[in-house]
Amino acid sequence: MAERTTLDTKLRTIVAKAATPLAKKDLVTVRDLLEFYPRTYLDPTRPTDFSTLGEGEPVVVLADVQHAVTRKMRQRRGSMLIATIQDGLGNALELTFFSAWGHEKALVPGRRILVSGTVSHYGGKRQLTHPEYEVLGTGAKATSTFGEGPIPVYSQVPAMTSMKVAAAVDLVLHALAEVPDPIPVAVRAKHGLPPLSNALTMVHQPRSTQEQRKARWRMKFQEAFVLQAALAVMRQSSDAVPAVPRPAVPGALADQFRERLPFELTQGQEQVLAEITGDLERTLPMHRLLQGEVGSGKTVVALLAMLNVIDSGGQAALLAPTEVLAVQHHRSMTAMLGPLAEAGMLGGSTDGTRVALLTGSQSAAERRRNLLMAASGEAGIVVGTHALIQEHVQFAELGLVVVDEQHRFGVEQRDALRAKVDGASPHTLVMTATPIPRTVAMTVFGDMETSTMTEVPSGRQPITTHVVRGDQSTWVQRTWERVAEEVAKGGQVYVVCPRIGQDDDPDLPGGTDIGPGGPITFEGNDAEEDSAPLHGVLQVERALRELEVTADLRIGILHGRQAADDKEATMRAFGSGEIDVLVATTVIEVGVDVPNATQMVIIDADRFGISQLHQLRGRIGRGTKPGLCLLMSQAAESQSLERLDAVASTTDGFELARLDLAQRREGDVLGATQSGARSSLRLLRLTRDEDLITLAHEDAWQVVGEDPDLTNHPELRAELDRIDAERVAFLERG
Ligand code: ADP
Ligand code: MG
């Protein structure tokens, strides 16, 4: 007896020759093919409107045969057949066959047929040459397996018509035994979901539109459910290792630090802090995502949480996505803590602690000193970039991991630090300034509790944003005048460029000569197309030095190719006001905090995403003076301009994040390390399926909560293992 057909059975054992073209489309197993859902469905009662068919396009149409004529061919023996089909709307299409044989009997006037071919024009008429077709209907003349229900149309598979794909699907569905269903019976019953086997048939061979929709909803729900179950299981397993409780100690470091703060915490900060301290008291490890609007003051909250942990005997690690940011955090925390960060030093507080810094570019001696502080427990706080902490650092008693600006890190990396703590899980706080729409939060951070801070400290100055047409010389001129005026008033300015560029970039017309008429349209360059090369930091710096209004300003540059020392020196100089204008790449995108910076010009702003622009402009308006952000762009496409207008019209990061999500693809949203999730998402759309994801989230967490090992749900367990294996394979392939 042949082996039972399962979802993992190879297609070639079932569909014979069709397996080759299907494999070209990465459809190798039964599962692959059955998850290759129809692109759309045709209503068998309604012919296709031919007027919409474009020339050269592969089409699938439903139509009635009007007449067919057979002609003897002059050149060679045999006869050709031309059938005319009509769509009932007055449009006709000719089907040409260079051999009438077999077609005369099938293409009888009045019959309804399903035709697949490529549209061409011949003698002023639309035609399909040698199309493939099936005769619909139930009579003896019918050649189609399609019933009365909606007819599936599949996306293009090279060398296969949609009908051939449907035929392969039909073979597979017939061969397939009952398939295990990862959605538990109770959950299915709750939502009235058909079992998986039925749903697969209903999606590919629906008897009605209603049935098709119901099945599709189920398959989509399954995607969300399995994903949520995976997150729930992940969370369960990390919860299985308890954390050391770190309750607040009244009057100790955290309280002393609050006394020192020159401002009151906002209500939002207080609330989030209360949530965090609540978590820290428990043996259940904290997994909290703090989403805070740009400038809402997340760092202070994190610092208070870290001090809390230090007060009850632990250490805290702060991971920053870039070295610039790590250095800045180290500097600002040390400054904010003052004597509290000078334990053991002359004049330092007796209760105090130390803040260690670990970056890739430290000298060996410096590094050793900092590593020692971490390992001995002398440093209560260790700030570093992620990779370093991941590989070498040892802690005396790591109790809390704070990850700043999470969106730069992959999800898997989040867990890397857990390994640093013997026998206990550290508490984890992840902070992100890119507001994450609910569905993404649930999908990417579905295993974390979420805190949100939308409020920015009162007295914070508003940021005004304008779009500047980079192709209009007067606007551009005015922009640089504004920069000079800002500096004259005592402010500082960021100029952000999409790339570093080269001093003598041979690709740039005019090389380093980027004065009037050059690629940088400081003087306006109305003839420039939007294919103009991107403006680099180095060119812009040079141009600003040459431009009359800005020539006298103190200009600095910052980008990723600089040595760490240079970067640090530049940031320090900008922070202390020794640089007026900082021309930089997006290295300043996250977290950089220089309150006196009041203006930002973003060059080629259309090259940045919505959230990124919002993030960038969050660098200004951090002090007591209002911020001005100018988005310069030469883009002509309305979509780019709309995005820029959206950024200019609101400072609500959450609204912009929703817009951003709507414009991006799921894969980009989920990121590379979510490849497992991505490859299992066929129907689910994070932008449109919020309600469904919420339902799936609730159900999956309940199922896993009641049965953490999924002992009673072996089908779900197997599905999770399969996806895990797929993801591992994907990551290994690179
Ligand atoms: P973000 O949430 O974007 O990381 P930061 O933590 O960098 O924001 O804080 C931005 C600035 O606001 C810092 O200079 C910080 O000292 C200041 N700040 C934080 N909390 C308050 C507050 N409650 N009142 C006034 N200023 C605050
Ligand atoms: Mg920050």
Question: Residue with structure tokens 């039909």?
Answer: 170
Average pLDDT over residues 232-244: 86
Residue 730's pLDDT band (boundaries 50, 70, 90)?
low
**pLDDT score recorded for residue 612:** 82
Inter-residue contact 343 to 353 (CB < 8 Å):
yes
- Percentage of residues of the chain with pLDDT beyond 90: 46
Inter-residue contact 495 to 584 (CB < 8 Å):
yes
**pLDDT score recorded for residue 535:** 82
Ligand 2 centroid to residue 433 C-alpha, Å = 7
Question: 442-472: per-residue pLDDT in tens?
Answer: 777 777 888 988 888 877 778 899 999 888 8
**pLDDT score recorded for residue 503:** 54
Q: Which ligand is nearest to the CA of 459?
A: 1
Which pTM does this prediction carry? 0.72
Residue 265 and residue 426: Cα distance in Å, rounded? 26
Mutate to test the pocket of ligand 1, among 319, 593, 598 (most ligand atoms within 8 A of CB): 593
Ligand 2 centroid to residue 557 C-alpha, Å = 22
Mutate to test the pocket of ligand 1, among 258, 263, 461, 615 (most ligand atoms within 8 A of CB): 263
Ligand 1 closest atom vs CA 292: 2
Ligand 1 centroid to residue 299 C-alpha, Å = 7
DSSP 390: H
Ligand 1 centroid to residue 447 C-alpha, Å = 27
Q: Which ligand is nearest to the CA of 302?
A: 1
Ligand 1 centroid to residue 651 C-alpha, Å = 17
Protein residue with least CA distance to atom 9, ligand 1: 297
> Mean pLDDT lowest for which of 52-61, 245-254, 282-291, 626-635?
52-61
Average pLDDT over residues 188-202: 96
**In a 3-state reduction of DSSP, which class is residue 715?**
helix
Stated as kind and residue range, the H or E segment containing 699 is helix 690-706
**pLDDT score recorded for residue 527:** 35
Question: 251-286: per-residue pLDDT in tens?
Answer: 999 999 999 999 999 999 999 999 999 999 999 999
pLDDT surpassing 60 at residue 532: no
Higher pLDDT, 507 or 172: 172
Question: 122-168: per-residue pLDDT in tens?
Answer: 777 889 988 989 888 766 666 677 778 899 999 989 889 899 999 99
Question: 160-189: per-residue pLDDT in tens?
Answer: 989 999 999 999 999 998 899 999 999 999
Average pLDDT over residues 615-644: 86
Residue 665's pLDDT band (boundaries 50, 70, 90)?
low
Residue 675's pLDDT band (boundaries 50, 70, 90)?
very low
Q: Where does ligand 1 bind, in terms of residues with CB under 6 Å? A: 263-266, 269, 292, 294-300, 433, 457, 591, 593, 595, 618, 622
Q: What is the largest CA-CA distance in the chain?
A: 108
User: What are 318's strand-pairing partners?
Assistant: 383, 402
Protein residue with least CA distance to atom 24, ligand 1: 457
pLDDT surpassing 80 at residue 531: no
Mutate to test the pocket of ligand 1, among 299, 616, 622 (most ligand atoms within 8 A of CB): 299
Q: For 104-144, give the DSSP string.
A: HHH--TT-EEEEEEEEEEETTEEEEES-EEEE-SSSTT---
Average pLDDT over residues 392-411: 77
Ligand 1 closest atom vs CA 593: 7
Question: 17-43: per-residue pLDDT in tens?
Answer: 999 999 999 899 999 999 999 999 998
**pLDDT score recorded for residue 467:** 93
Sign of dihedral through CA atoms 651, 654, 659, 663? positive
Protein residue with least CA distance to atom 12, ligand 1: 297
Strands 492-496 and 555-558, how do they pair?
unpaired
Ligand 1 centroid to residue 294 C-alpha, Å = 9
3-state helix, strand, coil in the chain (%, to 5): 40, 20, 40
Protein residue with least CA distance to atom 23, ligand 1: 265
Ligand 1 centroid to residue 213 C-alpha, Å = 49
Q: Which ligand is nearest to the CA of 258?
A: 1
Question: Residue with structure tokens 């042949």?
Answer: 2
Ligand 2 centroid to residue 302 C-alpha, Å = 10
pLDDT surpassing 80 at residue 344: no
User: What are 64's strand-pairing partners?
Assistant: 86, 112
Ligand 2 centroid to residue 435 C-alpha, Å = 13
Ligand 2 centroid to residue 322 C-alpha, Å = 12
**pLDDT score recorded for residue 141:** 64
pLDDT surpassing 70 at residue 511: no
Higher pLDDT, 388 or 49: 49
Q: Which of 76, 33, 63, 222 is nearest to 133 (CA)?
A: 63
Q: Which of 410, 406, 436, 443 is nearest to 661 (CA)?
A: 436
Inter-residue contact 501 to 515 (CB < 8 Å):
no
Question: 289-314: per-residue pLDDT in tens?
Answer: 998 887 788 999 999 999 999 999 99
Residue 173 and residue 196: Cα distance in Å, rounded? 12
Average pLDDT over residues 329-349: 81
Question: 209-222: per-residue pLDDT in tens?
Answer: 999 999 999 999 99
Question: Residue with structure tokens 């009359």?
Answer: 548
**pLDDT score recorded for residue 420:** 58
Residue 240's pLDDT band (boundaries 50, 70, 90)?
confident
Q: Which ligand is nearest to the CA of 298?
A: 1
pLDDT surpassing 70 at residue 509: no
Residue 253 and residue 308: Cα distance in Å, rounded? 7
Angle between helices 638-649 and 610-617 (to 10 degrees): 40
Question: 77-104: per-residue pLDDT in tens?
Answer: 778 899 999 888 888 899 999 888 888 8
Question: 576-595: per-residue pLDDT in tens?
Answer: 999 999 999 988 876 678 88
pLDDT surpassing 70 at residue 53: yes
Token pair belonging to 123: 């003698």
Ligand 1 closest atom vs CA 623: 14
Ligand 1 centroid to residue 200 C-alpha, Å = 53
Token pair belonging to 100: 């009438």
Ligand 1 closest atom vs CA 266: 23
pLDDT surpassing 70 at residue 433: yes
Phi, psi (deg, nearest 5) at residue 314: -110, 180
Token pair belonging to 2: 């042949």
Protein residue with least CA distance to atom 15, ligand 1: 297
Average pLDDT over residues 704-722: 94
DSSP 517: T
Q: Which ligand is nearest to the CA of 333?
A: 1
**In a 3-state reduction of DSSP, which class is residue 95?**
strand
**pLDDT score recorded for residue 621:** 81
Inter-residue contact 321 to 590 (CB < 8 Å):
yes
Q: Where are the alpha helices (DSSP H) in 185-241?
A: 185-191, 196-204, 209-239
Question: 405-427: per-residue pLDDT in tens?
Answer: 765 444 445 555 555 566 778 89
pLDDT surpassing 70 at residue 523: no
Residue 245 and residue 729: Cα distance in Å, rounded? 37
Q: Residue 118 burial by CB count (10 A; 0-12/13-18/19+): exposed, middle or buried?
A: middle
Stated as kind and residue range, the H or E segment containing 558 is strand 555-558
Residue 680's pLDDT band (boundaries 50, 70, 90)?
low
Q: How many CA atoms does the CB half-sphere of 456 hold within 13 Å?
A: 17
**pLDDT score recorded for residue 577:** 94
Residue 731 and residue 249: Cα distance in Å, rounded? 44
Higher pLDDT, 235 or 477: 477
Q: Which ligand is nearest to the CA of 292?
A: 1
Residue 234's pLDDT band (boundaries 50, 70, 90)?
confident
**pLDDT score recorded for residue 378:** 93
Mean pLDDT of the chain, nearest integer: 84
How many CB atoms neighbour CB 672 within 10 A?
Answer: 11
Go through 372-392 and write b for each residue having 16 or more CB atoms within 10 A of its CB, e for each that does not.
ebbeebebbbbbbbbebbeee
Edge-to-edge strand order for the sheet containing 555-558? Answer: 463-469, 627-633, 597-602, 492-496, 581-584, 555-558
Inter-residue contact 167 to 28 (CB < 8 Å):
no
Protein residue with least CA distance to atom 18, ligand 1: 297
Q: For 232-264, give the DSSP string.
A: HHHHHHHHTSPPPP----TTSHHHHHHHH-SSP
Q: For 622-650, give the DSSP string.
A: -SSS-EEEEEEE---SHHHHHHHHHHHH-
DSSP 76: S
Higher pLDDT, 508 or 515: 508
Inter-residue contact 315 to 244 (CB < 8 Å):
no
Residue 676's pLDDT band (boundaries 50, 70, 90)?
very low
Average pLDDT over residues 205-233: 93
Ligand 2 centroid to residue 409 C-alpha, Å = 15
